[in-house]
Amino acid sequence: MSADCLFCKIAAGEIPARRVYEDDDIIAFHDINPSAPVHFLIVPKMHIASMAQLEEKHAALMGRIMTLVPRLALEQGSQPYPEGGFRVIINTGAHGGQEVPHLHVHVLGGAHPWKHE
């Protein structure tokens, strides 16, 4: 855990969030300011600042996060592929539009989520 990190505090239960999934290594919760009818974040509990810090040792963790995406997207109300589907975004660094410096995967679903940006 990194001191003063918002998503570390959510992972530790110190700040509340509307949780959609949790296991020993991963937590997913609704984005507080949704950009689409379905908008949640999947977050590794360990503090990784961004995708720029990923290393080979994180491969299994990231693989688990990515395979959670389709399951959680459907559970949260996105419509089935191919008529439905979802959008996955990982903002990285200042040029990538990252605001919270703890790696997180945005999952956006519902009709035309890209029009809500």
Residues that bind ligand AMP (CB under 6 A): 6, 17, 29, 31-33, 91, 97-100
Distance, CA of 50 to CA of 41 (rounded, Å): 14
Residue 33 binds which one of Zn ion, ligand AMP, none, with CB within 5 to 8 A depending on kind? Answer: ligand AMP
Query: Smallest distance, Å, CB 116 to Zn ion?
Result: 26
45 binds, among ligand AMP, Zn ion, none (CB under 5 to 8 A by kind): none
- What's the helix, strand, coil split of the chain in %, to 5? 30, 20, 50
116 is catalytic: no
Shortest distance, position 57 Cβ to ligand AMP, whole Å: 23
Residue tagged active-site, from 104, 106, 112, 116: 104
Q: Which is nearer to Zn ion, 87 or 102 (CB)?
A: 102
Rounded to whole angstroms, what are the CA distances from 7 to 71, 93, 112?
Answer: 22, 16, 27
Query: Residue 77 and residue 26: Cα distance in Å, rounded?
Result: 20
Q: 82 is in the binding site of which of ligand AMP, Zn ion, none (Cβ under 5 to 8 A by kind)?
A: none
d(CA 108, CA 86): 6
**So which residues are the catalytic ones?**
104
